[in-house]
Amino acid sequence: MSDKIIVGLDVDTIDDVKRIIDLCPKCVWFKVGSQLFTRCGHQSIFLLKEKGKKIFLDLKYHDIPNTVKNAVSAARDLEVDMLTVHALGGSQMIKYASETVAGTAVKIIAVTILTSHTEEQIHKELGIAWKLGDAVLNLANMALSVGAHGIVCSPMEISLLREKLGNDFLLITPGVRPAWAAETHDQSRVMTPSEAIILGANMLVLARPILKANNPQAAFDRIVEEIEDEQ
């Protein structure tokens, strides 16, 4: 078992979810994102809970504060374990989200800059004047200051956040690829799982390197072994 790996359920059907759970029996954490949730909704959550799995609801809420508060309330009632909000939604939005789960075990995780974005894109398309690393740091600092329990960032910003913000928060990173599964697809800022853990990540989100492997359980075990060998 490993509580450091979150397997992304980037699939379309409940049968797919059942198959992946069966193929990855040692996996504790699963990510339910917009693809699966839009297709299967609560059914995917109920199935994972029935199987005793932990749920990372990755819908990246980003709206006016009261709308996000109501969405987080609904997610809290589903008893997910962690959920994401966009840090770009601002301090009041994140504060409302954090207050909504106060007294429960649900954790609010703030997404900083998506791993698909480059520095050129955040400047030209998003209008963010900061350098990419500064943008991640400033958004993370703001989110944590108003009650977020953790941060999502690319592996390239792990060292910066740990150096500047310490260790008293969860740091979750997608954008990791084992050296033996080097495809990066639509992610621009990537690193191997063991490298990310060494730098200070608490949890890693992986989907394709496990789900597209000929033997998903063997791929999962291999990643866990590589992580443990470096600790």
**Residues catalogued as catalytic:** 60
Q: Which two tokens stand for residue 187?
A: 């992610």
Distant-in-sequence, close-in-space partners of 121: CB < 8 Å, separation ≥ 6: none
Using CA atoms, how far apart are residues 204 and 69, in angstroms rounded to an integer? 26
Asked if residues 2 and 26 have their Cβ atoms less than 8 Å apart, the reply is yes
Report residue 172: phi and psi, to 5°: -115, 130
* Sequence letter at residue 154: S
* Sequence letter at residue 27: C
Using CA atoms, how far apart are residues 137 and 161, in angstroms rounded to an integer? 6
Q: Which of 45, 12, 14, 50 is nearest to 30 (CA)?
A: 45
Using CA atoms, how far apart are residues 49 and 81, in angstroms rounded to an integer? 10
- Which H, E and C letters describe 72-118, residue by residue? HHHHHHCCCCEEEEEHHHCHHHHHHHHHHCCCCCCEEEEECCCCCCC
Asked if residues 140 and 119 have their Cβ atoms less than 8 Å apart, the reply is no
* Sequence letter at residue 131: K
Q: Which two tokens stand for residue 89?
A: 């939604």
